[in-house]
């Protein structure tokens, strides 16, 4: 699914076939989860493939690396340029791009100077699908920000996400919603969370969550559309009585949620602010917002 014999990747300054690449079994990232990564999307537009908010994603990658004491010798501009070359070499337009920074052999609990940079990409449909999601409150909490840098995108943090999604699926739900260490709603395993009540939106503030780039885009779109959004702490009890809810993420985009813990939201999805924002988001990433405007 991710690659075939023709797929080209960028690894440590070289372009090579994915099938010919290899890694060190003694890599520190493999043993301890001490790598950093990004999840980026490109969209086919009238001007060719456009990587949505490429700069913001690579700024976050550099930030994550710094937090994990990883020396990354690439600038944001270089990484953006390499990403466009990656898409071109693989003839991709609507694609998911996965940069991964991983560390070489080192069994100690200290940073290593051997830093590897992988850029790979594949054609990928929507992660969460088009169906409305039935979500459960997870028994797993998001990591306490005093235990790690939750706002950094670190490979090892995703063991928490895997446990939460697996629990939800095993219980017959589509996805999990995780609380923070204080019992407030934090985010999904790979997406931020919003709910709607009386024409207003609510989402968790920064601090105990990943600062999602889609979350930020939705905040910008909401402002443009005159929708009020409150970044504040709230509990699942407040969500049960909501008019609607949705996840936001690069892979998930703006994905509607049908129910939390079996309690359905008040409005049909089509009538929610989430549906309007989902459409606005897709227009923005595909750069078709102004298609219907005519210059007179």
Minimum Å gap between C-beta 234 and ligand PMP is: 17
153 is catalytic: yes
Minimum Å gap between C-beta 215 and ligand PMP is: 6
Which of 153, 197, 232, 287 is catalytic? The answer is 153
Site for ligand PMP, rule CB under 6 A: 39, 187, 190-192, 210, 212-215, 248-250
Inter-residue contact 53 to 285 (CB < 8 Å): no
Instruction: Tell me the C-alpha to C-alpha distance, in Å, between residue 105 and each of 22, 91, 111, 113.
Output: 13, 34, 11, 10
């Amino acid at each position: 699914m991710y690659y075939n014999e023709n797929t080209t990747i960028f690894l440590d300054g070289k372009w090579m076939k994915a099938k010919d690449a290899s890694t060190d079994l003694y890599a520190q990232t493999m043993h301890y989860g001490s790598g950093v990564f990004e999840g980026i999307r490109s969209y086919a537009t009238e001007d060719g493939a456009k990587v949505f908010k490429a700069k913001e994603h690579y700024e976050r990658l550099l930030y994550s690396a710094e937090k994990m004491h990883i020396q990354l010798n690439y600038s944001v501009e270089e990484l953006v340029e390499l990403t466009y070359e990656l898409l071109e070499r693989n003839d991709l337009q609507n694609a998911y791009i996965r940069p991964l920074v991983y560390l070489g052999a080192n069994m100690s609990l200290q940073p290593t100077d051997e830093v590897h940079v992988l850029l790979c990409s594949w054609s990928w449909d929507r992660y969460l699908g088009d169906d409305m999601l039935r979500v459960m409150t997870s028994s797993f909490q998001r990591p306490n920000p005093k235990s790690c840098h939750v706002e950094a995108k670190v490979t090892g943090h995703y063991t928490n996400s895997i446990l939460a999604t697996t629990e939800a699926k095993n219980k017959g739900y589509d996805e999990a919603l995780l609380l923070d260490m204080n019992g407030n709603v934090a985010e999904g395993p790979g997406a931020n969370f919003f709910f709607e009540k009386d024409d207003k939106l609510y989402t968790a503030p920064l601090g105990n969550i990943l600062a999602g780039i889609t979350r930020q885009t939705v905040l910008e779109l909401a402002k443009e559309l005159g929708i009020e959004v409150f970044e504040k702490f709230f509990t699942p009890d407040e969500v049960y009585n909501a008019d609607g809810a949705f996840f936001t993420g690069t892979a998930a985009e703006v994905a509607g949620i049908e129910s939390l813990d079996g309690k359905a939201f008040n409005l049909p999805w089509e009538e929610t602010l989430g549906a309007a924002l989902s459409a606005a988001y897709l227009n923005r990433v595909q750069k078709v917002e102004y298609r219907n405007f005519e210059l007179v």
